[in-house]
């Protein structure tokens, strides 16, 4: 039992895990949260159901990390997805595994995950101070604690900075952690919204707003056609562009290139299992067999229904044109849109909508086992404030649990 004084800045997933881990090890822990309550963002996760982790094997889990895979090795092996599932079960909250091995509480309530964390903190004796914003770290060679927004100074042997990122700032994640880490001498890797939807330049796609296509292949390329993303999944059209889990994932891989190049080219294949030649053969057959019918009717025998009026209009084809009269060029254009619809990605939606922040405290300056600063003694980090991010599926919360656990462990 060390009995050290520990301060945790931020009552999100990572901060709460760090606090209860340190307190269960016998330290005197105070958690400082600027909101009126802890876990505001946690309550929003998984649409209020909390996709708490992913049940895949650890190597697969690490493969879903976009930035910081190697850094996470030790933390994730020390406190894994299975450890998190056990942690919840021991605390009376069973979990269930859904599609893509996503893990949710059986109750489907993020509030129950928060309740477990709060209960474990209470039992371990963590002092939780809500409505308490930290203004800065107290540093004179080593970290000695914090200065609060009201000017009060709190002393500590160890301070754990778990103030989150910049995404969805209404939850309290307003980037304070980056500012404090930078003031302590840390490098902040460029901050970008990630797991954010694509803004698409072509105005005609607005006509597809609200439409969902279940199985689309999406490829995104930068300059000289360098492929940045190639995936398959659901696409949702919105008033600004496209979204859905696959698009969010693509956003994470494209954020840096998009910032540099300002525009990327995307292609969508609505028939990923059908070669272009086969699709053309099928279309020709439909046109031949139904030559007297309207093109809108015949095209709907091939294409997903919501695409029909939009693609006909886009290509300047009258809906009442006889199918047999469709010019070759127009046929090729329609097939081109189905197999390789070309779109221009002009941006990502910003931090207000991004699920996470890419970039943060440089991992070169942090011990991957203890999350201790390699620059300032007495300072540790946990969660999204670090230059870590992953795809959707429970991986980002697992990063928070694993790094939070590491930061709260081994305090001597
Ligand atoms: C809508 C949405 C849904 C999501 N769903 C999922 C999901 O289902 N599964 C998944 O794995 N991931 C999900 N994520 C990502 C996940 O929520 C984050 O990865 C995770 O919350 C990061 O935890 P954290 O503790 O590092 O940061 P946060 O949860 O952001 O917590 C940081 C805390 O620090 C506090 N704070 C900030 N500055 C100060 C200060 N100066 N003084 C005191 N306190 C301060 C904040 O108020 C906040 O409470 C989702 C994200 C969003 C936005």
- 14 Cβ closer than 6 Å to some ligand 1 atom: yes
- 360 Cβ closer than 6 Å to some ligand 1 atom: no
Question: Could you give the number of structural domains in the chain?
Answer: 2
Domain end position, chosen among 300, 329, 349: 349
Question: Which CATH number belongs to the domain containing residue 184 in this structure?
Answer: 3.50.50.60
Residues 202 and 172 reside in one and the same domain: no
Ligand 1 atom nearest to CA at 168 = 53
Mutation test residue for ligand 1: of 81, 128, 397, the one with most atoms within 8 Å of CB: 397
pLDDT of residue 162: 98
What residue numbers bound the domain in which 383 lies?
5-192+357-408
Angle at 9 between CA 8 and CA 10, to 5 degrees: 110
Helix (H, G, I), strand (E, B) or coil at 338: helix
pLDDT of residue 132: 98
In the DSSP assignment, the letter for residue 156 is -
Please state whether 283 falls in left (phi above 0), alpha (psi between -120 and 50) or beta: alpha
pLDDT of residue 229: 96
pLDDT of residue 223: 77
Angle at 205 between CA 201 and CA 209, to 5 degrees: 120
Average pLDDT, the chain: 96
Q: Supply φ then ψ for residue 316, to 5 degrees.
A: 65, 35
| Averaged pLDDT for residues 102-120 | 98
Residues 19 and 166 reside in one and the same domain: yes
Residues 185 and 265 reside in one and the same domain: no
What share of the chain has pLDDT > 70, as a percent?
99
* Tens of pLDDT, residues 292-325: 999 999 999 999 999 999 999 999 999 999 999 9
What residues pair up with 357 in beta bridges, in sequence order? Answer: 193
Kindly report the pTM of this predicted structure.
0.92
* Tens of pLDDT, residues 13-42: 999 999 999 999 999 999 999 999 999 999
Residues 326 and 366 reside in one and the same domain: no
Residues 222 and 281 reside in one and the same domain: yes
- 175 Cβ closer than 6 Å to some ligand 1 atom: no
How many whole angstroms separate alpha carbon 95 and alpha carbon 48?
Answer: 15
How many whole angstroms separate alpha carbon 149 and alpha carbon 161?
Answer: 16
- 397 Cβ closer than 6 Å to some ligand 1 atom: yes
pLDDT of 135 > 60? The answer is: yes
**Confidence band for 63, pLDDT divided at 50, 70 and 90:** very high
What share of the chain has pLDDT > 90, as a percent?
98
pLDDT of residue 1: 45
Domain end position, chosen among 329, 349, 369: 349
pLDDT of 224 > 80? The answer is: no
pLDDT of residue 2: 53
Residues 326 and 242 reside in one and the same domain: yes
């Amino acid at each position: 039992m060390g009995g050290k004084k520990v301060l945790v800045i931020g009552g999100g997933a990572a901060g709460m895990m760090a606090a209860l881990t340190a307190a269960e090890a016998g330290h005197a822990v105070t958690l400082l949260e600027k909101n009126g309550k802890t876990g505001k963002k946690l309550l929003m996760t998984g649409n209020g159901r909390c996709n708490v982790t992913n049940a895949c094997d650890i190597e697969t889990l690490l493969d879903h990390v976009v930035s910081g895979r190697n850094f996470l090795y030790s933390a994730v092996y020390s406190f894994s997805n299975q450890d998190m599932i056990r942690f919840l079960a021991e605390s009376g909250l069973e979990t269930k595994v859904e599609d893509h091995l996503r893990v949710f509480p059986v109750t489907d309530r993020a509030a129950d995950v928060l309740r477990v964390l709060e209960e474990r903190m209470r039992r371990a004796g963590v002092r939780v101070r809500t409505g308490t914003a930290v203004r800065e770290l107290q540093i004179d060679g080593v970290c000695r604690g914090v200065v609060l927004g009201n000017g009060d100074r709190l002393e500590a042997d160890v301070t754990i900075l778990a103030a989150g990122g910049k995404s969805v700032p209404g939850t309290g994640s307003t980037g304070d952690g980056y500012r404090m880490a930078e003031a302590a001498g840390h490098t902040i890797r460029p901050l970008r919204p990630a797991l954010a939807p694509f803004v698409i330049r072509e105005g005609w796609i607005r006509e597809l707003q609200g439409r969902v296509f279940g199985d689309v292949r999406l490829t995104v390329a930068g300059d000289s056609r360098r492929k940045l993303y190639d995936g398959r999944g659901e696409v949702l059209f919105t008033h600004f562009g496209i979204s859905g889990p696959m698009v969010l994932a693509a956003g994470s891989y494209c954020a840096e290139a998009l910032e540099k190049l300002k525009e990327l080219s995307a292609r969508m294949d609505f028939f990923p299992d059908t070669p272009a030649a086969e699709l053309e053969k099928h279309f020709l057959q439909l046109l031949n067999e139904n030559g007297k019918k309207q093109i809108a009717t015949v095209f709907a025998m091939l294409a997903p229904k919501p695409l029909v009026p939009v693609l006909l209009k886009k290509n300047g084809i009258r809906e009442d044109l006889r199918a047999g009269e469709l010019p070759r060029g127009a046929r090729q254009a329609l097939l081109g849109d189905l197999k390789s619809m070309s779109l221009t990605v002009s941006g990502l939606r910003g931090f207000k909508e991004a699920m996470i922040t890419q970039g943060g405290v440089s991992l070169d300056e942090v011990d991957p086992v203890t999350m201790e600063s390699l620059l300032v003694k007495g300072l540790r980090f946990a969660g999204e404030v670090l230059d870590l991010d992953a795809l959707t599926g429970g991986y980002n919360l697992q990063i928070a649990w694993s790094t939070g656990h590491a930061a709260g462990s081994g305090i001597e």
